[in-house]
A = this chain, B = another copy of it.
Amino acid sequence: MVNAQNSPRLPLEGSLEAVRETLRAALRDVPPPLLDMTAYLSETEGKNLRALLLLASASDDEGTVPREAVTAAAAIELLHLATLVHDDVVDDADVRRGAPSLKSRFGNKAAVVFGDYLFCKCFSMVADIARRFEDQYQLVARAVTKICLGELREIQHNRDTGLTVRQYLKIIAGKTSAMFALAMYTGAMLRGDEPLRVRRLARAGHYIGMAFQLIDDCLDYETDGATLRKPVQNDLAEGVVTLPLILALAEKPELRDVVGRGLSPKEAADIAAQVIALGGVQRTKDVASRYCDKAARLIERETAGARREWLLRLLEKTRVRVY
């Protein structure tokens, strides 16, 4: 595997801005029929957690990253955007990042095709790096495959109140963690880490992704819409069964019948209160916390200097969910 130690380097501090600029340029540099949509997307920037994990993983102990890491981080954010655009079609979600979702603004048809376009844009960007990092293409394709599988499993288990903890973990390992693992894998690979370390850091990324999704699933039960910038009790209303609910159902199986059918907003709010009272949310947070601990151990063992510091900081932000 070739590494990027001979590329021009830039400081970790500030590299996120370079990623955002690359991303903005990619979204600006599109044919006219897409300009409305990409301009619209640019307005609602996310927190770029996946890009940050990639950059931090690619950093040396002194806190500088190879130029390729910026391209790769922009590509992973494009991939993330593509899945968000399609997710909003799949989830019929009208709000995303505090604003009307792309599909509610431009329609389902345009959103399906535009998501495909973003996928391609991501693959094109990867092709630029792939000249030197041959495996990257396969890696991206494999990660996206896992994401699709996770989402399909989730769709297949819609309103399935018999969903087991194990099945649930498998779903989120695909739909969320695969991209976190890809981010850290790519970063470590670009840094030139040995294969075993690359794999271990990818595993740390997987754990962070699991924690991220578990906390996300808790937020659906306990926050109001304004804080989270998206509708709450959405999962429940849409029939998406997550860990807080699975754990609550185990305590009070008679809820199954209610949850199995469509819920009014009032009913959803009532079930949410019960899920919290039955300890479903707190116990889910405990599980998330254990994933964070596992990730911390791997990062502490495998990294040093500025890289360790940044990765641990990102992990803490996941834990308390500023992101």
Which A positions have Cβ atoms within 8 angstroms of B? 31, 33-34, 86, 89-91, 107-110, 112-117, 119-121, 123-124, 126-127, 130-131, 134, 137-138, 140-142, 144-145, 147-149, 151-153, 155-156
Contacts and interface: CB of A to CB of B under 8 A. Distances in A.
A149 B89 contact: no
Contacts of A134: 131
Given A90-B109, A108-B108, 19 more contacts: A33-B149, A34-B149, A34-B152, A90-B112, A91-B109, A109-B155, A112-B112, A113-B148, A116-B119, A120-B142, A120-B144, A120-B145, A120-B148, A123-B123, A124-B138, A124-B141, A126-B137, A130-B130, A131-B134
Contacts of A148: 113-114, 116-117, 120
Nearest to A82: B116
A223 to B, nearest CB: 25
A140 to B, nearest CB: 8
A115 B83 CA distance: 12
A33 B152 contact: yes
A277 B81 CA distance: 48
Count copies of this chain in the complex: 2
Contacts of A142: 120, 124
**Is the contact region of chain A dominated by helix, strand, or loop, or is it mixed?**
helix
Contact of A124 (B90, B145, B147): B145
A119 B124 CA distance: 14
A126 B145 CA distance: 15
A109 B153 CA distance: 11
Q: List 5 tightest A-B contacts by C-beta distance, closest first.
A: A117-B148, A124-B141, A90-B109, A127-B137, A120-B144
A155 B113 contact: yes
Contacts of A147: 116
Taking each of A123, A134, A137, which has the highest tally of chain B beta carbons within 10 Å of its own beta carbon? Answer: A123
B113 A151 contact: yes
Taking each of A91, A113, A114, A124, which has the highest tally of chain B beta carbons within 10 Å of its own beta carbon? Answer: A113
Nearest to A125: B141
A137 B145 CA distance: 17
Contacts of A151: 113
Given A149-B33, A152-B110, A119 B119 contact: yes
B155 A107 contact: yes
